[in-house]
Each structure stands twice: as structure tokens, then as C-alpha cells.
């Protein structure tokens, strides 16, 4: 499962998950920091990432 860590959480979380053999990225890693939730949602769908809970709530 691929994960995208949203901006509300620290980038270190994505690094920690990656160190534990999870496929995780932070929005900073893919230049989506400060983007609207709809933009992040579209990226998650196109990259086949597990949608983050914060985008489900929008």
C-alpha cells in the first residue's frame, strides 16, 4: 500500500514509515505543500495512493 502523508503531519512521519518498509511520501516530497485538498486528492488517485483521511472529509 502506498501512503501520502498530508501537510498537517510532519515530513519525518513519512521518513519513519519508509524506514519501516512502507511506501510513504509526504506532500512536500511531491511539491503539493499548500495545495488545495482537491489537488492532493487528484494526485492520490492518479498515483494510486491510499487517499488520506483528511481528503475524505472535504
CA atoms within a 13 Å half-sphere pointing along the CA-CB vector of 29: 17
Distance CA 2, CA 36 (A): 20
Looking at residue 58, its pLDDT comes to 42
Q: Per residue in 1-58, pLDDT tens? A: 788 888 888 999 999 999 999 988 888 888 888 888 888 878 887 877 765 555 444 4
Amino acid at each position: 500500500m502506498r501512503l501520502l502523508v498530508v501537510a498537517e503531519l510532519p515530513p519525518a512521519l513519512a521518513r519513519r514509515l519508509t524506514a519501516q518498509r512502507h511506501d510513504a511520501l509526504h506532500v512536500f516530497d511531491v511539491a503539493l505543500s499548500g495545495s488545495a485538498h482537491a489537488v492532493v486528492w487528484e494526485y492520490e488517485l492518479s498515483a494510486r495512493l491510499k487517499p488520506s483521511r483528511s481528503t475524505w472529509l472535504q
